[in-house]
Amino acid sequence: MEAYLTWFIDAVTSPQMELFVIAVIIAATPLLYAATGELVAERSGVLNLGVEGMMLLGAVAAFATALTTGSGGMGIAAGAAAGAAGALLFAIVALGFTANQAATGLALTIFGAGASGLIGQGYVGTALPPLPKMAVPEGLADYAAARILLSHDAMVFGAFALVFLTWCYLKFTRSGLRLHAIGDDHHAAQAQGLSVLRVRTVAVLFGGACAGLGGAYLSLAYTPLWAEDMTAGRGWIALALVVFATWRLLRVTIGALIFAAFDQAGNYRETLDIDIPSQFLSMAPYLATIVALVVISVASRRSDTPASLGKDFRPDR
């Protein structure tokens, strides 16, 4: 028993494990951005399946802007704006004209993939310097926990700050409670004087901006370069995370880290001495996504599911 305990401690505290945990946090960052924004949109009763497309729009806009201006901050802002612009198209069609939300979201994903590929043609193969990472304070540099938590760029810290601030907003603010009310019963909320369409439009735009930030992180820090379809299904994983987490932000964070761990396990298979075929590790995060989507029918019967999710709303009814 003592030998196993010693082996476990050595494995957990090894430099290889430290690098793996850092990689997991980095890989979870775009998922956290996209899933947090989608959670807010779905809490308002809107199902936007266009997360993948908005992430691609954000990625190409961020890369092109950063390359042109030489400013990573301008690139981040452009990525958020591009994601919000895609969300605005969705809001006009799905909320303004009450088109089917699922079909509109799928159309947005197709549009985002096509538009980003067209815009990014001239940037394929071009690389950018990655976003600067925070320097670990000298007094903490000897501690593995400090290196794991602090040796990241600003967007990583921003993702976790976004999760916390969004949780506070939904739980403790009056407008957050109004968002919950609209998602649970939009007709009752309208009867109480709440502007359902305005609140939902703002929530959708927020979700789009967050998806754009997730895409921006991929092209500015995670890679950093532009490649067609570089999101590699992360938008769909973010959608699945929201369901997997039953619309709770703490579970979204845990789920994002789990998906990221599966995603990175293949890259660290040899260094961590993981005796699992690399092909299985490569498909594991997507297999987990499929499983999460299967439970939608079960999750929809839970009390914490927004009752008006995906349902059309007409103010004159």
307 inside domain:
no
pLDDT in tens, the chain (317 residues): 444 444 334 444 567 788 889 999 999 999 999 999 999 999 999 999 999 999 999 999 999 999 999 999 999 999 999 999 999 999 999 999 989 999 999 999 999 999 999 999 989 888 899 899 988 888 787 788 888 888 899 999 999 999 999 999 999 999 999 999 999 999 898 988 889 999 999 999 999 999 999 999 999 999 888 999 999 889 999 998 898 788 889 889 988 998 888 888 776 665 555 666 666 666 766 676 566 556 654 555 555 778 888 888 887 65
Alpha-carbon distance of 121 to 131, in angstroms, equals 23
Would you list the DSSP string of 168-206? Answer: HHHHH-HHHHHHHHHHH-HHHHHHTT--HHHHHHHHHHH
CATH number at residue 210: 1.10.3470
Report cis status (omega within 30 of 0) of the bond before 224. Answer: yes
228 inside domain:
yes
State the burial class of residue 263 (Cβ atoms within 10 Å of its Cβ: 0-12, 13-18, 19+): buried
Residue 181 backbone dihedrals phi, psi, to 5 degrees: -60, -40
313 inside domain:
no
Range of the domain at 242: 2-299
314 inside domain:
no
20 inside domain:
yes
309 inside domain:
no
pLDDT, tens digit (0-9, with 9 covering 90-100), for 158-208: 999 999 999 999 999 999 999 999 999 998 989 888 899 999 999 999 999
315 inside domain:
no
Alpha-carbon distance of 9 to 294, in angstroms, equals 37
Please write down the long-range contacts of 169-174, taking CB distance under 8 Å and 24 or more positions apart.
Answer: 170/40, 170/43, 170/249
Residues with Cβ within 8 Å of 212's Cβ and at least 6 positions away in sequence, in order, are 54, 55, 57, 58, 61, 62, 79, 80, 81, 82, 83, 84, 86
Residue tagged 């895409």 (tokens): 215
234 inside domain:
yes
Q: How many domains does the chain have?
A: 1
Show the tokens assigned to 140.
């903490």
pTM > 0.75: yes or no? yes
